[in-house]
Chains A and B, each alone.
Chain A
Amino acid sequence: MDRETRRQLDEYRRTEAGPVENNLIDELLAGELDRREFFRRASIFGLSASAIGGALAALGDAPLAFAAPVAHKAGGRLRLAIIPPPVKSLDPETYLDQGGLETGGVAGEFLTRATQSLTLLPELALSWKPNADASSWTFKLRPNVKFQNGGTMSADDVVATYNRLLGPNSAALSAFKGVLSASGVQKIDSLTVQFNLDTPTASFPYLTSSTTYQGIILPANYADGTFQTTPQTTGAFKLDSYTPGVGAKYDRFTGWWGGSAPLDGVDVTYYTDDAATTAALLGGSIDLIGQIQFATGRPLFGNPNVQIFAARGATHREVPMRVDLHNPLHDYRVRQAIALTLDRPAIIKTLFDNRADIGNDSPFAPVYPSTNKSVPQRKKNIALAKQLMKEAGYAHGFSITLTTEQTGEIPQLAQIIQRSVKAIGINMKLVILTSTAYFAGTQSGGPGGLGNTPWLNTPMNITDWGHRAVPNVILNSALETGGVWNAAHYANKKYDALVKSYEAAIALKDQQKYSGQIETILLHDTPVIFPYFYNYLAAGSTHVKGYQADALGEIYLSKTSLA
């Protein structure tokens, strides 16, 4: 590395870099991080491009090369299929469903954007920095960003948006609980916002990214219910018309800070049926489908007129088994036995044609760098399963009901599980509800503290979970004592303490230390089976250029064009 680069890096380390950034560079130089992982973490911690380049150059690396922008043709309207349609309102802070987040995401923007490789790119925030122990984060906002209804974005708007996100009606509470409360969001000046966290959290910037899909930045005076009547986001397209259950129309926003998007507009049609979207794409009536499932979209694969967009991520299914009822699932040996009947490689071959990663019964997906890969993968073992059943006193098996929803490949997974547990004498009955019925009811109060909704209260069920850039939300809400989405009603103090340590850990090695312990505890207790983490899939015609699938399903069309 030449002297000038070395001098710049040293200067950076001395003056600008805090303990967090310096620690990161130390890890890189000590060989504890590979280049890609360094790049990712550097983006989370908001290191500038020159700092990144300098650090990598210190390794003797070639300078970073950024891909040249793809030449595109401007014009044309993209015909997009979104399935299923949004339910209820389009106010971003209420988004809980795929339809809502996709509809809002075409027009809205976030402080940062998560990429397929789990890095963070600046969007409405230009840069961000943690303090010494990652308990406070300062974000510098992009200047001259216009809202579609007039006005320019400033810190007031960001603070108001986050106050709404942290308020009582927000669907994002589960992500922020214990991390940030409304009092912690402060305006420093018109283009600087500071987030003072309740707990030091090394991965906080993910919560400001597109991964928290409710976090679309809106004007400070945004009134609920107006999202579909007045375009007022900052994105490249404005929502000009919306008919619930039918469709939506977006047109190019000429005042977009990013310039001019190639597409003239986007015409969305809502679908309720996977087969109809497949037929529409193959028949040429639409250009892009927001989400496809392998189980129902098989005819699209291998078709020369279709391109498949895939994003490896942490989308998964959870199979919680309530630990607190007076039935055989109460005993951890029974739960382990059930988990041991599953032939996971065969499952992902049948359901996804291997477009998935095998899960090891914890939220730590293989795609996460902090996952401790030295913990052995659970494999099918009927002999051991039978032995465990015998030890628990259920050598002759028992009956149990599995309740779940009619979504994607879940009914097939349910049938596979039902068939697998037969080998150890378990007679499983299936109850498959519509998604509406499965998620209906209350989520708090009542005897178990989680209301009466099926997905949080049935003895055994399967629930779909979307991708998260880090496993924190799942570690908390699904498995912590008293977690709002803790369908297994699992309560283990040791686990809770380990999760706190994991979330506060900044160095990758420390994170992996704690994740290994968490994975081991979960393998022992097995409150929830995580059978796989599958790739998020979308499909479009070969005319669609410049589109990348997002692991969560956000549809980002600012750089997309039609050839």
Chain B
Amino acid sequence: MGRFLLKRLGLALITLVLLSMIVFSLAQLLPGNVGRNILGPFASQQQVDQTNHELGVDRPIVVQYGRWVSHLLHGNLGNSLEYQGSSVAGLLGPSLVNSLKLAALAFLICVPLSILGGIAAALRQGRVTDRSITIGGLSLTAVPEFVTAIVLIVIFGVVFKLLPTTAQAPPGSSFLVQIKYLLLPALALTAVLFGYIARIARAGVIEALDADYTRTAYLKGLDTRTVMFRHVLRNALLPTIAVVATQTGYLIGGLVVIEKLFNYPGIGQRIYIAAQNKDFTMLESGVLVIGIVYLVATLVADTLYSLLNPRIRYGAAE
């Protein structure tokens, strides 16, 4: 188990290095002059050149990359080019926390709901319950997230005034109040993910119900409930965990549209604006941070997966 984790960790680190290189090159793709961006259109060319020299952007790319990495390793994420005087870490930190809160709530609502739905559908396979859950889930997933979000805002926020239309609670709000503000976007995300996760869970349960070991368990005399919990559920959870982990990347950094509609200062917005405004430092650090979160999530998922699936743990499949 330890060796397995170590191996996975090592691979993740390599991926991280590759990611940093990709991110850095991506940011270099952006057209525009860093110095000009900072000083604005009225500064003289001389001032622009001087700023570029001070920032080190006139050195070769490899040198710049090296400097960036060494800064990172010392925990220095640099200063935002867009919002002068503000450190990247100071702006990214709160945004990341916000995104994590929303993702957590969305997961908390969506995952149990989807698994229950998937199980219910699988147990009543082919009947009305199954049909409605599957088709209902599919329809919800098929609606683009911005449409779902807009509809939710209008119905619950404006027409019935049950929930706030923005997701950011005033500073110092209690835990419950924050949840109230995050409820609408979390529901929008649940609508997007429910169909997909429920379907995966359903497939897993069906496969498990048909499997030999289930039959064996029944034959051994175990009651339904034990069979369900010990064998079937575990099998349903396996693919679900994998799927949930892959969705983390989307939920942390890909929610630009949701954050825009709910005016929520998450990390998706930050990098989106950084990409538009050629804020290289923010963009690079932001994407790297999201990458790290994603890799951590997949690592955790892999670990859970191997814990639940002994075959992987002992390397039998390989």
Which chain A residues have a beta carbon within 8 Å of chain B's beta carbons?
A: 87-89, 94, 96, 168-171, 173, 225, 228-229, 243-246, 267, 269, 271-273, 275-276, 279-280, 282-285, 434, 436-437, 440-445, 451, 453
Tell me if A87 and B153 are in contact (CB < 8 A): no
Q: B157's contact among A89, A170, A283, by CB below 8 Å, is which? A: A283
B158 touches A282 (CB 8 A): yes
Interface positions of B from 21 to 75, Cβ below 8 Å from A: 32-33, 36, 38-45
Given A279-B157, A283-B164, A440-B32, decide whether A273 and B40 contact each other with a Cβ distance below 8 A. no
> Known contacts A245-B269, A282-B158, A285-B166: does B44 contact A168 (CB below 8 Å)?
yes
Tell whether A245 pairs with B165 under 8 Å between CB atoms, given A171-B42, A225-B85: no
Which residues of B sit under 8 angstroms from A272, Cβ to Cβ?
Answer: 260, 263, 269, 273
Q: Are A443 and B41 in contact (CB under 8 A)?
A: yes
B261 and A276 within 8 A (CB): yes
What sequence of 0s and 1s flags, for each residue 147-190 of chain B, a beta carbon within 8 Å of any chain A beta carbon? Answer: 00010011001100100111010100000000000000000000
B-chain residues with CB within 8 Å of residue A245 when the two chains form the complex: 83, 91, 265, 269-270, 273
Does any Cβ of A come within 8 Å of B277's Cβ?
yes
User: Given the interface contacts A168-B44, A225-B85, does A284 sit within 8 Å of B276 by beta carbon?
Assistant: no
Report the nearest B residue to A453, measured CB to CB. B41
Cβ contact within 8 Å between B263 and A273: yes
Closest chain-B Cβ to A283's Cβ sits at a distance in Å of: 4
A-B contact pairs, 16 of them (CB 8 A): A88-B83, A168-B42, A225-B85, A228-B85, A229-B85, A244-B80, A244-B91, A245-B83, A275-B261, A276-B165, A279-B154, A279-B166, A283-B157, A437-B276, A443-B42, A453-B41
How many angstroms between the C-alpha atoms of A88 and B40 in the bound complex?
Answer: 9
Apart from A168-B43, A273-B261, A437-B276: 6 A-B pairs, beta carbons within 8 A: A87-B82, A89-B83, A245-B273, A280-B165, A283-B164, A441-B32
* A295–chain B nearest beta-carbon distance, Å: 17
Complex CA distance for A147 and B84, rounded to whole angstroms: 24
* Chain A residues closer than 8 Å to B260, beta-carbon distance: 272-273, 276
- Within the assembled complex, what's the spacing in Å between the Cα atoms of A228 and B82? 15
* Interface 1/0 per residue, B246-266 and A, CB below 8 Å: 000000000000001111010
- The residue in B42, B85, B273 that gathers the most chain A C-beta atoms within 10 A of its C-beta is B42
Q: Establish whether residues B164 and A285, one from each chain, have CB atoms under 8 Å apart when the complex forms.
A: yes
- B-side residues, CB < 8 A to A, are 32-33, 36, 38-45, 80, 82-86, 91, 94, 150, 153-154, 157-158, 161, 164-166, 168, 170, 260-263, 265, 269-270, 273, 276-278
| Contact pick for B86, options A171, A244, A273, A283, CB 8 Å | A244
Interface centre among B39, B154, B158 (most CB of A within 10 A): B158
Q: Which residues of B contact A225 (CB under 8 A)?
A: 84-85
In the complex, A322 Cα to B88 Cα: how many Å? Answer: 41
Interface of B is mostly: loop
- Establish whether residues B84 and A88, one from each chain, have CB atoms under 8 Å apart when the complex forms: yes
A276 with B263: in contact, given A245-B270, A282-B158, A284-B161 (CB under 8 Å)? Answer: yes
- Shortest beta-carbon contacts, A-B, top 3: A244-B83, A279-B165, A283-B165
Q: Give CA–CA (A168, B157) in the complex, Å.
A: 48
- The interface residues of chain A lying within 8 Å CB-to-CB of B168 are 246, 269
Within 8 Å by CB of B166, from A243, A280, A444, A451, lies A280
Give min CB distance, A302 to chain B, whole Å: 15
Distance of A228 Cα from B154 Cα, bound (Å): 35
State which of A169, A228, A271, A440 has its C-beta within 8 Å of the C-beta of B263.
A271
Within the complex, the shortest CB–CB distance from B233 to chain A, in Å, comes to: 41
Known A244-B83, A245-B273, A284-B161; judge A276-B41 contact (CB<8 A): no
State A440–B165 Cα separation when bound (angstroms): 33
* Contact residues in B for A269 (Cβ distance below 8 Å): 166, 168, 263
- Considering the chains assembled together, what is the distance between the CA atoms of A89 and B79 in angstroms? 13
Q: Which residue of A lies closest to B158 (CB)?
A: A282
Distance in Å from the Cβ of A299 to the closest Cβ of chain B? Answer: 8
Give the residues in chain A near B86, CB-CB below 8 Å: 244
Contacts of A267 in B (CB 8 A): 170
- Which of chain B's residues have a CB closer than 8 A to the CB of A283? 157-158, 161, 164-165
**A279 in contact with B158 (CB, 8 Å):** yes
Which A residues touch B94, using CB under 8 A? 243, 246
Which partner residue on chain B sits nearest A456 by CB separation? B41
Do residues B32 and A87 form an inter-chain contact, with CB atoms below 8 A?
no
Q: How far is the CA of A284 from the CA of B164 in the complex (A)?
A: 8
When distances are taken between beta carbons in the complex, the residues of chain B under 8 Å from A170 are: 42
CA distance A443 to B36 in the complex (A): 11
**Closest Cβ neighbor of A93 among chain B residues:** B42
Which residues from B are CB-within-8-Å of A88?
38, 40, 82-84
User: What is the CB-to-nearest-CB distance from B263 to chain A, in angstroms, rounded to a whole number?
Assistant: 4
> B241 to nearest A CB, angstroms?
34
B272 to chain A minimum Cβ distance, whole angstroms, is 9
- Report chain B residues within 8 Å CB of A246: 94, 168, 265
Chain A: CB-nearest residue to B37: A440
B286 to chain A, nearest CB (A): 12
The smallest beta-carbon distance between A56 and chain B, in angstroms, is 44
Closest to B275 in A: A436
What separation, in Å, do the CA atoms of A429 and B260 have in the docked complex?
A: 29
Q: Is the CB of A279 within 8 A of B153?
A: yes
Q: Establish whether residues B165 and A285, one from each chain, have CB atoms under 8 Å apart when the complex forms.
A: yes
Question: Of all chain B residues, which has the CB nearest A83?
Answer: B263
User: Inside 8 A of A445's CB, which chain B residues have their CB?
Assistant: 45
Residues of B within 8 A of A276 (CB): 165-166, 260-263
A229 cross-chain contacts in B, Cβ below 8 A: 85
Residue of A nearest to B257 (CB): A273
